[in-house]
Structure 1
Amino acid sequence: MSGRAHAPARASSGYQVWVTGLLSLNFGILFFDRNALNFLMPFVQPDLGLSNTQVGLFSSALSLTWALSGFVVGRVSDRLGAQKAVVVFATLAFCLCSVVSGFATSFLMLLGARLLMGAAEGGVMPVSHAMIVGEVSPERRGMAMGVAQNLGSNLLGSGLAPILLVPLAVAYGWREGFYLAAAPGVITAALIWFTLREPPAVEHHDDAPRVTLRAAFAHRNVVLCALIAILLVSYLVVCWAFMPLFLTKGRGFDPGTMGWLMATLGISAGIGSFAVPALSDAIGRRPVMIAFSFLGAILPLGAIYYGGSAWLLGAIFFFGWALNGLFPMFMATIPAESVDPRLTATLTGVVMGIGEVLGGVLSPFLAGFLADAYGLAAPVWLMLVLCLAAGVLALGLEESAPRVLARRAASGRHPVTPGVVPSA
C-alpha cells in the first residue's frame, strides 16, 4: 500500500489512564524487587560475609544484564510489534528470580540470581514506553511516561520497600523479603494480558525515510541524553547500594531511622514522577533538566554534613531526590521527541542500556572500591560529582516539548525540532 498508513484511532482518555497506571504499577513491583537487596544489605552483608566491593558488584551485575536485555528486547519489540506479550513474559520471569534470590547461601549464588533478575527486568521499561507512545496523546506524553517509569517504581520500590522490608528482616530474616516481592508480579502480568490491547502502529508515510539508530545518534539531544543517563543512573545506583550502609555505619542511625529516611526518597520520586515531567510539558524539557540535576547536590551534601534533626535531614533527602523525575525525560521522552517516534523502544533501550552499562555497572564497583579504600563517605561524594556533571551537560540540550515548540512556532521565535509534531 502506498501513501499514508493510518493507525487506529487513539484510545479513550479512560483507557489511556488505565494503560499508564497499570504499567506504572507493574514497574513498581519490579523495582520493589530490584531495590530489595539494597535495603536488606545491612542484614545480608554480615550474614554472607561480604566486602563493600562485593556489595557494589551485586548492583553492577544486575545493571549489566538489565542493560543488555533492555537493548535486545527493545529492538525485538520494535521489529515484531509484540509489546504486550514481552512485558507479560518479563514480569513472570522476574517473579521467579525474586524467589531464587531468597534461596541464596553464598556470594556467587546471590550474584547469579541478580544476573538473571537483570536479564528478566531490563526489557520491561523500554517496551512500556513504546506502549505509551502508541496509546497516549502527545500533549500528555511527558507526564504519562513519567508516571509509568517513576510513580509506581518509587512509591513501591523506594518508598514502600524499606518500610516493609527492614522490619520484616528484623523480625524474620532477610530472605522473606524476596519471597514477598514475587507474588504481586503474577497479578499485574495477568491484568496486562487480559485488559490491555496490543498498541496500534505509529502513523507514518510509506515514502518517508525511516530514521536509523545511527542517524538518531547524530542528533545532539540523543547523545547528551545518553551521557546524562550514565551520570544519573550512577547517582541512583550508588545511592541505593551505599546510602543505607553510610547512614547506619557512617552516621550511626538505627535501621528503623535509615529505613524511613530511604523511604522519603520513594515519596519524593513518586510525587516527582508526574510533577517534574508535567512541569517540563508546560515550561520545557531543557530548563527542568538543568534545574533538577543541580538540585540533586543537596542530598549527598546533607547526608555528609547535616547533623541536626533527622526530620530535617528527611526533608533534604526529599527535595534532593526530585531529580529522579528526570529519568523518563532523558531515557525516553526527549529522544522520542527528537527523532522518529517509531524508534521509541529501541532508543529507550539503547539510552537506558548505555546508562546501565557505563553507569550502573561501573559506578557501584568504583564506589565499593572507594568505600573500602577511603570509607563509606566516598560513594556519597561520588554522588555529588555525578549530579553536578549532569547539570552541566543539560545546558547543551535543545528544547523538544511539543507545547513549548508550538508556542515558539506560533510566535516565529524558533523552528520546530525534527521529529516533533507541535501540539497546543
Structure 2
Amino acid sequence: MTNNNTATLPNTPNNTRYQILLVTLLSLNFGIVFFDRNALNFLMPFVQPELALTNLQIGLTASALSVTWAISGLIFGAMSDRSGRRKIFLIMATIVFSLCSFLSGLATSFLLLLGARLLMGVAEGPILPISQSVTAIEVTPERRGIAMGVMQNFGSNLLGSFAAPVVLVAVASAFGWREAFFLAGLPGLLAAGLLWWLMREPTASSVPIATGVNQSCQRPSLKEVFAHRNMLLCSLIAVLLIGYLVTCWSFMPIYLTSVRGYSAETMGWLMGTLGISAAVGSFVVSGISDKIGRKPVMVITPFMGLILTLSAMYFDGSAIILAVLFFFGWALNGIFPLFMATVPSETVDSRHIATALGFVMGIGEILGGGVLPALAGAAADSVGQSAPLWLMSAICVIAGVLALGLKETAPAVLVKRAQAPDVSASFSS
C-alpha cells in the first residue's frame, strides 16, 4: 500500500498526524507568501520618499500584484488540477516568489518596483487555491472547516501581518529598506525545501470532497456554478473585503505615520496587532461558525471592521488602547476563509469545487485587490489621506448587508435543523 492510499483511512492516527502536519506546512508556506506580499506596505514609509511615489502609484503597486495574483491563480490552479501534480506547482511558485522579493529590493524607480510586484503576483497567485484544494482533498470533512480557516489565516497573519511589520520595520530602520526586502525573500526558500521533504502528492481518490462523490473530469461552466445564490454573494463579498484588506495594508501604515504622527516603530506594532487578531480568529471565527452557522458570523463580523477605521481616525488615547481596538476591529479578517473557501465548497457540487474556489478568489483579487486600492489612492490624492479609510468603512457596511442573503451551509447547523421537530405538523395532527 502506498503512502497516498493511507488518506482513504480518515480515522487512523497516522493519517490524523499527517493532516495536522500538512495544514501546518501549508499555513507556514502561505504565511511566508504574505510576509513577502505585505513587505512593501510596511516598508512604504521608507520607500515612498526615496522613490518619490504618489498615493496613486502606491495604490497601483498593490493593484498590480492583486491582478496578476488572480490571473495566475486561475491559470496555474487549473493546470495543477489537470496535471494532478499540485506539490511541484507549490514548490516552484514558492521559489519564484522568494526571488521576486529580492527584485523589489533592487528597484530604483516606480516602474521597476511595479514590474517586481507584477512578477511576484504571478508567482504567488496559485499558492492559495492549490493549498486549499489540497486541504479539501486530504482533510476529513469533520475537520475541514477549521483546517481551511487555519491554513488560510493562521500563518498568513502570524507571519504576514504580525511578524512582518515588526521585523521589517526594525531591519529597515537599522540597515535600510532594501536589506529588509532581501531578508523577506529567504524564508520562502526554506519553506520550499520543507514542502519537498514532508509533503506527499495528494490524489483525487484520497478523501472525497463535499458530497462524498469522486470528482468528475467534466469541466463545469460558470453558469452551473453560479446557479447558487451563495456563489454570487460570496464573490461580491470577496470583491469588497479583499479590497478592504489590500487598501488597509497599502494606506494604513502611511496614515498612521504621516497623519496621526506615530513613529515607524509604533506603526509597526499597531499593524502587527492585526496579525495577532487574525491568527486568533483563524481558530475562533471558524469554530464559532461551525457551532452557530456561517451566515450569522458573516453578517455580524464585517461591521466590526468599523472599529478599526474609526479608531484609526478619531481615537486620541494611548497607543496600547488603540492596539486593542485594532485587535477587535480586525476580527473581520476571520471570515475570509468562509467566503473564499468554506461556504463555496459547501454550496456547489463536488465536481465544481475547484472552479468555485478559483473564481471567488480570482474575482476578489482582480476587482477588489486590483481596482479598489487604486481608487483609494486617487481619492487620497484628491481629497486627503483619510479617504481610503472612509472607503473601507463603507465596504464594511455593504458586506454585512450582502451577507444577509446567504443560505446557511454549516453541516452541524443543517443537521440540527433537520432533526428539529416540525411544530406546525404537530399542531395540525
TM-score range with shorter-chain normalisation? Answer: over 0.9
Q: Which amino acid aligns with 2:362?
A: G
1:303 lines up with 2:306 in the alignment: no
Name the TM-score, length of structure 1 as normaliser. 0.93
Among 365, 378, 388, the residue aligned to 2:374: 365
Q: Report the alpha carbon displacement of residue 407 of structure 1 after superposing the two structures with TM.
A: 1.7
Partner of 2:385: 376
Q: Is the 8 A contact 1:71 1:123 kept in 2?
A: yes
Which deviations, in whole Å up to 9, do the C-alpha atoms of 1:218-246 show, x marking residues without a partner?
Answer: 10011100000000001001100000010
1:173 lines up with 2:176 in the alignment: yes
Partner of 1:33: 36
SS of equivalent residue, structure 2 residue 405: coil
Partner of 1:259: 268
Partner of 1:114: 117
Partner of 1:9: 9
Q: Which shifted more, 61-70 or 199-208?
A: 199-208
Partner of 2:231: 222
Q: Is the 8 A contact 1:129 1:344 kept in 2?
A: no
Q: Is the 8 A contact 1:150 1:325 kept in 2?
A: yes
Q: Report the alpha carbon displacement of residue 7 of structure 1 after superposing the two structures with TM.
A: 7.9
SS of equivalent residue, structure 2 residue 200: coil
Name the CA distance, whole Å, in 1 between partners of 2:30 and 2:38: 12
Q: Report the alpha carbon displacement of residue 208 of structure 1 after superposing the two structures with TM.
A: 11
Q: Is the 8 A contact 1:123 1:349 kept in 2?
A: no
Q: Report the alpha carbon displacement of residue 210 of structure 1 after superposing the two structures with TM.
A: 7.3
SS of equivalent residue, structure 1 residue 252: coil
Aligned-residue Cα RMSD (Å) equals: 1.9
Name the CA distance, whole Å, in 1 between partners of 2:169 and 2:292: 40
SS of equivalent residue, structure 1 residue 200: coil
- Relative to 1, partners in 2 of residues 1:134 and 1:378: Cα closer, same or farther, differing over 3 Å? same
Among 137, 141, 151, the residue aligned to 2:140: 137
Name the CA distance, whole Å, in 1 between partners of 2:364 and 2:88: 25
Among 247, 258, 261, the residue aligned to 2:256: 247
Q: Which amino acid aligns with 2:195?
A: I
Partner of 1:47: 50
SS of equivalent residue, structure 1 residue 376: coil
Which deviations, in whole Å up to 9, do the C-alpha atoms of 1:73-120 show, x marking residues without a partner?
Answer: 222222222211111111111011111111111100010000000000
- Relative to 1, partners in 2 of residues 1:264 and 1:205: Cα closer, same or farther, differing over 3 Å? closer
Q: Which amino acid aligns with 1:50?
A: L
Q: Report the alpha carbon displacement of residue 256 of structure 1 after superposing the two structures with TM.
A: 1.2
Q: Which amino acid aligns with 1:345?
A: A
Q: Report the alpha carbon displacement of residue 42 of structure 1 after superposing the two structures with TM.
A: 0.3
Which runs of no fewer than 5 residues in structure 1 stay unpaired? 1-5, 414-424
Among 49, 55, 60, the residue aligned to 1:57: 60
Q: Report the alpha carbon displacement of residue 283 of structure 1 after superposing the two structures with TM.
A: 1.2
1:282 lines up with 2:285 in the alignment: no
1:402 lines up with 2:411 in the alignment: yes
Which deviations, in whole Å up to 9, do the C-alpha atoms of 1:128-160 show, x marking residues without a partner?
Answer: 000011111112211111111110000000000
1:392 lines up with 2:401 in the alignment: yes
Name the CA distance, whole Å, in 2 between partners of 1:184 and 1:313: 31
Q: Report the alpha carbon displacement of residue 411 of structure 1 after superposing the two structures with TM.
A: 2.3
Q: Which amino acid aligns with 1:367?
A: A
Among 98, 102, 126, the residue aligned to 2:129: 126
SS of equivalent residue, structure 2 residue 202: coil
Q: Report the alpha carbon displacement of residue 211 of structure 1 after superposing the two structures with TM.
A: 5.1
Q: Which amino acid aligns with 1:231?
A: L
Which deviations, in whole Å up to 9, do the C-alpha atoms of 1:57-79 show, x marking residues without a partner?
Answer: 00010001001011112222222
Which deviations, in whole Å up to 9, do the C-alpha atoms of 1:185-215 show, x marking residues without a partner?
Answer: 1121121122111223135368998754321
Q: Which amino acid aligns with 1:185?
A: G
Name the CA distance, whole Å, in 1 between partners of 2:216 and 2:377: 52
1:235 lines up with 2:257 in the alignment: no
Q: Is the 8 A contact 1:293 1:390 kept in 2?
A: yes
Which deviations, in whole Å up to 9, do the C-alpha atoms of 1:265-292 show, x marking residues without a partner?
Answer: 0100111112111111111110111111
Q: Is the 8 A contact 1:150 1:270 kept in 2?
A: yes
Q: Is the 8 A contact 2:213 2:350 kept in 1?
A: no
Among 329, 333, 336, the residue aligned to 1:320: 329
Partner of 2:3: none
Name the CA distance, whole Å, in 2 between partners of 1:47 and 1:223: 43
Partner of 1:99: 102
Aligned-pair identity in percent equals 58
Name the CA distance, whole Å, in 2 between partners of 1:171 and 1:245: 19
Q: Which amino acid aligns with 2:78?
A: R
Which deviations, in whole Å up to 9, do the C-alpha atoms of 1:343-397 show, x marking residues without a partner?
Answer: 3333222111101111111111101111111111110111100111100000010
SS of equivalent residue, structure 1 residue 384: helix
Q: Report the alpha carbon displacement of residue 402 of structure 1 after superposing the two structures with TM.
A: 1.2
Name the CA distance, whole Å, in 1 between partners of 2:31 and 2:350: 25
- Relative to 1, partners in 2 of residues 1:207 and 1:124: Cα closer, same or farther, differing over 3 Å? closer
